[in-house]
Structure 1
Amino acid sequence: MIARGIELTNNFYLGLHKELLELFSQHNSIELKTLTVFQLYGFGNYDEEAANLKSFITEKTGKWINGKYLYNKKREIDAGHKTKVKIRRDYLTILITAAGYKGYNDYLQNSTYISADVREVEQAILEGSVQNENVLYYVGYYVEDRQYYIKSKFTIYQMKSASWEILYWEKDKEPTIYSYFGKCVPTGGSALSFYFNKEDSSLNKECFVNLFYGNNMNNKPLLLGAYCGFGRSNNPVIGKIIFEEVVNAEAQNEKVRTDEINPIFHHHLYSQRLEVDGILPHKDSDLSVSINRLEIINFLIGSYRGYYLDRNQYLIHITFHVINELGEIKLKINNTNFEGIGRLNKTENYLISEFNEKNQTSYSQFSLQVQPLEKDLFVSHMLVYTGGSVINGKGLLWKVNEKNSKGIPLTNEFYINKSDIDPQKVEKIEQYL
């Protein structure tokens, strides 16, 4: 075996080539001598709608193949300089499948187009290669458009090359398979990068995959990575991907075709894909959901202090800061701190905060109504997870001058009695909460 493919004897390949041509001729009821080289193999100046070997192979296998590649391999053998020919592994599988066989061994044992001598030589090559071959088999997972759980076959050969076959179940019984073949490039001592060029892609598109494996590739049942390429609508996409190792090609084929969805993988990958819009903006403001965003954010910039009233009529202290015109936000409820970005909703009446609790993922939400209830008095809505508690409901916030904020002093107390704060504040709380 070699980095990008497999070595075959010339006679083995010629037998397979002849069998495919005869099957193609019979299938289309056409004489090969009536076709130009371009039309026969399907490249250059040819009629895509008319019969050609490339389309025939795609029809039989559901996989795209480069017609000029097949033509060049035939010419390479005809030149007579070598007794063996190198062919891409994925292409060999496609050609054998198109000829009606289950795999390499099935073809080797049952094809009538290769002689007993060729069969013996190929068997010896196979047995010698298998002992030394270093092939890693994975099933890949990613989520497309937040709903489609996509499975794929990712195979690494001798840490030098890789094939990636992505399955889309657009038909009832058989998937459409998009394939890539590319090279592996080590990145430091703990990661690998894979480059798939468009010439070796059934979609005629380039793609990159970066994988992290830590200190030892061979002892990792799961690999985490990211992909960068083009979606089916031809828009640039990036996203996270998981590769799960399997023992061999048979296990890989079986697992990738099941309808099983791993809920842990799905949860990890959900929303972890970005796709660039197909419509470009004419100016920077076209990228904004809100036309008046900058004006509104500048109005809201400042510090806020206030309270949430729980069902037992105790107050919980809140501090909120809109830091700058970028919409950067800080929120503190008791001793739990959040940081993030505030975005205006489409109707421009709420600043909706998206933030994470420091050092961990948070699903908390906090929004501030843009229109004040009174001068410097604002209402907020929240669903905040703080420690083991959930704070869900409305809060009342006063916009304050940090240098003169005696009305609502900072406190580390979890619960505050109404009797402990300014009576005027209590009056507003009872009025609005």
Structure 2
Amino acid sequence: MHLKEQWIREGFSSYYVVKKELKLTYEKNILYNHTLPCLLPCEFRIEDGEEYYYYETGIYTKLKDRISMLEPKLFFAYLLEVFEQVASYLLELDHLKLDLESMFLDKEDRPVLCYLPEYEKKIDEQLRDFIEECIEYISGDDKKRVRFYYEFHSFLIKEKPNMEQMKDYLEVRSEKMNGEILREKIKNEESKSAQNMQENLSDLIRDEKDSPEKDEIKIYEKTPKRILILIGKIISVVGCFCSILGIVYFVLKIFEYGFYYLFLIGSLVSIAGLGVSVYGCYKLWKKNKNPKTFVDSWQKTENAAELLDEKTILLEDEDDRTVLLLEEPMGRLVPKNPEQKEIVLDDDGFVIGRSTQGTDHQLEGTGISRRHIRFYKEDGNVCCEDLDSTNGIKINGVKLNGKKNKKAVLKEGDCIKIGLEEFYFKQD
């Protein structure tokens, strides 16, 4: 398809401009709101009665400038992620432009593509043509990189693989393959950490039993806070004394010479200094009011030992005999992405979403709804429920979305995909 396209520069920004000929609704809305960070930001402008796409390119790095420095296997793995993101928003992959001129990189060297509804070419053909273009562009001295491109191109032609087969080729492991490995790794790490913690606690308890009072005195004597507090007290007292002298001096000058503005300013500054010094004295003396400032490490160790044995702690009030029960969490979500944090499902009816209101854990990312998923207990099992999210949930690759298929019972090691973020469920 012949496109009426041009590259222009406006001030500090650069644009790829294409004349718009098709009537769009859904695709235009996606492009206009720039919902997907893996696509170039697009504006719609009207010039001489004609509408144009304006794709902003100046904020990204050209792929052509860095293609010879990128690790090809990692780059194509990122490219497959882009394909999945685009498909998850019901956009046609054939409208993506795969060539060195139209592809860019963000700050993390992840691909950013141009989605052009006016352009249409089968994505598998584009991928093969793109690899051929890369082979011609990169240096032949880098034999390892050139060999990968040739082998990957041959694989695409002979096998005609789908997305999962390409992932396997690029060693982007599927959820089922990673599940067993991750579960075994988690068990080994937890057993080691628990054993080390138990040994440390035993040593600490033994030392505390031998000489708890001596250790407390040492902790108390070695802390540098006493010296800092003493210095703060001295500074505060000196500040109070100087501020009082300043107030007396400037008041006498006002009585002697009248309300001269320098005397007024000096008296106000002295009064402010006196207030600050008095407040500092009050805070420091109040902080040091309790003579027992050392850490009661024996009590903390005892509490930690109870938590390590996974016992429920009962706190009993001496007067009212009120019992506070701290329940064990239902389970945990171990992230596949190391940049994400582990999520502890510590309440029945635990809700995850990107909204700060009405959720127990805020999770930001592409394709995540305001209230996306809920975890709860039913008949002794931990279950999850889709909260009418836009993109649904995937449990081990099976999508949960709709009125009939919204709930699932979770098992140890199940892979849960929320938007584009993936987690492995571990039951406590």
Shorter-chain TM-score above 0.5: no
Normalised by the size of structure 1, how large is the TM-score? 0.18
More helix by proportion, 1 or 2? Answer: 2
More strand by proportion, 1 or 2? Answer: 1
